[in-house]
Amino acid sequence: MRNTVDPEKSSPRSRPPVKKITATYLENSGKFYLERFPASTAQFRRVMTRKIDRSCRAHADQDREECLNLLETLISRFQTIGFLDDPAYASGLRYSLTQRGYSSSRIAQTLRQKGISPDWLQEASAREPLNPDHDWLAALRWIKKKRLGAYSTRDEGPNRSLASLARAGFEFDMARKALSLTVEETEEHLLSNIRTEPAL
């Protein structure tokens, strides 16, 4: 009996070929990325450098340094026309993390990981400091949001709750104090200390 299965249809779909790097390709690819994912200049550079490296591995005739020079030219142009705007990106991310209840140390750590310079962080903190009670209120919001401490409906020890707060960047003593409050005490603190965090 003859095999009538089409070998092309039965084989896994192959990946599209890796394209060579050109100024036009980098620009189109860069725009497409930024339309989907807001990014700092450092993030954008990392993503596009990986794309360049992948292309250079597939096309040995390409000069990596020339490709990287094309990328730097593109970055400069994107900064000029506002496609890359680190202060605006960092301000928006800082506000978002503040609203999500992250500790000040976790906010700073996340911004550094995204490639925001320490100088900008210092300037932002001096220009628009967070609420002095930010970390305390954020810890209470985190406990409420994650249903820890008095909000927990599970029979578990304090270690898991402390670990959750530690991962969010809260100091041990503050976390332990926040977890010791009753639901009524937590709600009272939150209601009596409502303040608007700066959006920068």
What are 126-143's pLDDT values in tens digits? Answer: 777 777 788 999 999 999
Residue 185 sits at the vertex; the CA angle it makes with 183 and 186, to the nearest 5 degrees, is: 65
Q: Convert the pLDDT of each residue in 20-65 to its tens digit.
A: 999 999 999 999 999 999 999 999 999 999 999 999 999 999 999 9
Reference 157, options 176, 133, 135; nearest CA is 176
Q: Which residues contact 14 (CB under 8 A, 6 or more apart)?
A: none
Radius of gyration of the chain, Cα coordinates, nearest whole angstrom: 24
Q: Convert the pLDDT of each residue in 102-117 to its tens digit.
A: 898 899 899 999 999 8
Task: Give the CA dihedral 181, 108, 30, 26, nearest 10 degrees.
Answer: -150
The pTM is what? 0.70
Give me 46's structure tokens.
């990392």
CB neighbours of residue 130 within 10 Å: 18
